[in-house]
Amino acid sequence: MSSGSFAEKIQRRRTFAIISHPDAGKTTITEKLLLFGSAIQQAGSVKGKRGPHAKSDWMTMEQERGISVTSSVMQFPYKERIVNLLDTPGHEDFSEDTYRTLTAVDSVLMVLDGAKGVEDRTIKLMDVCRLRDTPILSFVNKLDREARDPVDLLDEIESVLNITAAPVNWPLGMGVDFKGVYNLYTDTIHVYEKGQGHTIPADTQIQGLDSAEASELLGDDAEDIREQIEFVRGATSPFDVEEYLAGRMTPVFFGTALGNFGVREMLDHFVDWAPKPMPRMTHDREVQPNEEKLSGFVFKIQANMDPKHRDRIAFMRICSGTYRQGMKMRHVRLGKDVKIADAVTFMAGDRSAVDEAIAGDIIGLHNHGTIQIGDTFTEGEPLKFTGIPHFAPELFRRIRLKDPLKTKQLQKGLQQLAEEGSTQVFFPLNNNDIVVGAVGVLQFEVVAYRLKDEYKVEAIYEPVNVATARWAECEDPKKLEEFKRKCADNLALDGGGYLTYLAPTRVNLSLTEERYPEVNLRATREH
């Protein structure tokens, strides 16, 4: 751990996630960031091998499908900073996981495919960032290929995402004619060299867009490019770090992740501008990162990262104070003190024991079934962090066992998968069905696969007459009793024991809402 005061150490933290549409280049840019952080020696090893916990069956399934459904945390040093990068699953069916991960970061990097611009998944993720005014830095990728006109791309970012786009560097050509990027603020050209993707490339610079060297580099295109840059300077807003930190402006960088070009320029600014760990709200008060006492919340639970350790890891964002190995923490929901001897960190996909971690860092707690998403840990104060969402599922199936003797295993498996946020499970009050809910259809397959792989139960799905679910709350116990009696056929308990209304149709839901105005039927529940 580097020296310096506690406040200085926190000041050095940069905790962020990458948001993008699938295939825009998130994995590739992650590799390059880790390369710059010297966490891996040669880029290209993230996707292929995924570190030491290489190929569990689970990972095989991911690879076969070419999707990434798990997410992890990577910490690496860069210049004076300690960067925490939280990976988010790219596939739309796992968006719940992504949303929760976004509650644990202080800023995001948005990666766009230069040929495609703003795609629908990016729009959704932006909406989530907007809920908390999360600062966003943008990287337009794949400039080594034919991309769209960069002016159009900026327009699209502004109009579709409703944020001011401030280009910091500008691409000099694209595709086969890609020559480099030009920094609008320092009047410096960074020259692109092909075939440098697997190494940290040399940074060849030319000072001055109007220099003779620049004319030589740009050749016949020199005049056009100079004109375009002059136009861009006049037509776009200058970068303003305060506007960026307020979530109203995004600085835009261009480059190619595959060619590892433009990434360093982006990263250099990122570590400079991106926010340090920010205060977090609890039910009672705002928690400042430099408070001495530890506090944090669990935003994700993940199983089976290492086939040798069949445990589950609860990812906790530290919001204040310091974690030290062997310390006692209060598990607030349970009102219990637990000694945490073996938290883990995720240095470039490798799990290693951490001695100390501070506000802004993520640690992994071994979870033997007691930790749930949304749980707060402190050094005694009964805090509860707010804003970690739980979304009503959109898709439902009844789940049935091939071997009815395995009901216990099935229930246990589903309960644990529900705690992890991999699925949601409902136990109807009036029958013995088990109903599984998902936000995306792929989740069903994943659940069946994991039940078989990890809990040795073979389950099949059947259609069930449920269109949507709502968590039911009512302050008046009498009214609640009446509601429970009259609607019993549609009521269930979810995996956490919360009363849930399973509506067969949207119309039924509206009618029920009208009939029981004093019952609050909520589409989201806070953990």
User: Which residues does the annotation place in the binding site for GTP?
Assistant: 20-27, 87-91, 141-144
Q: How far is CA 54 from the centre of its chain?
A: 21
Cβ neighbours of 292 (radius 10 Å): 9
* Residues 123, 161 contacting (CB under 8 angstroms): yes
22 binding ligand GDP? (CB under 6 A)? yes
Count residues binding ligand GDP (CB under 6 A).
Answer: 17
169 binding ligand GDP? (CB under 6 A)? no
Strands 395-401 and 344-347: unpaired
Tell the smallest beta-carbon distance from residue 361 to ligand GDP (Å). 24
256 binding ligand GDP? (CB under 6 A)? yes
Using the rule CB under 6 A, give the single segment among 138-146, 377-385, 427-435, 463-471 that binds ligand GDP.
138-146
124 binding ligand GDP? (CB under 6 A)? no
Burial, 230: exposed, middle or buried (Cβ in 10 Å; 0-12, 13-18, 19+)? exposed
- Per-residue interface string for the shown chain with ligand GDP, residues 144-163, x marking contact by CB under 6 A: xx------------------
* Residues 47, 34 contacting (CB under 8 angstroms): no
445 binding ligand GDP? (CB under 6 A)? no
* Residues 314, 365 contacting (CB under 8 angstroms): yes
Identity of the residue numbered 354: V
Using the rule CB under 6 A, give the single segment among 94-102, 136-144, 316-324, 343-351 that binds ligand GDP.
136-144
Residue in 328, 325, 322 with CA at minimum distance from that of residue 296: 322
3-state helix, strand, coil in the chain (%, to 5): 30, 30, 40
Tell the smallest beta-carbon distance from residue 42 to ligand GDP (Å). 15
Nearer Cβ to ligand GDP (195/517)? 195
Using the rule CB under 6 A, give the single segment among 96-104, 137-145, 330-338, 443-451 that binds ligand GDP.
137-145
Using the rule CB under 6 A, give the single segment among 20-28, 154-162, 388-396, 474-482 that binds ligand GDP.
20-28
Residues 68-97 interacting with ligand GDP (rule: CB under 6 A): 90
Nearer Cβ to ligand GDP (37/275)? 37
Using the rule CB under 6 A, give the single segment among 23-31, 127-135, 371-379, 510-518 that binds ligand GDP.
23-31
Tell the smallest beta-carbon distance from residue 110 to ligand GDP (Å). 11
Q: What is the distance between the alpha carbons of residues 123 and 132, in angstroms, rounded to a whole number?
A: 15
Q: How far is CA 426 from the centre of its chain?
A: 26
141 binding ligand GDP? (CB under 6 A)? yes
Which residues are CB-contacts of 300 (< 8 A; sequence separation ≥ 6)? Answer: 71, 97, 100, 101, 104, 314, 315, 373, 420, 421
122 binding ligand GDP? (CB under 6 A)? no
Nearer Cβ to ligand GDP (256/322)? 256
H or E element in which residue 502 lies: strand 499-503
Footprint of ligand GDP on this chain (CB under 6 A)?
A: 20, 22-28, 90, 141-142, 144-145, 256-259
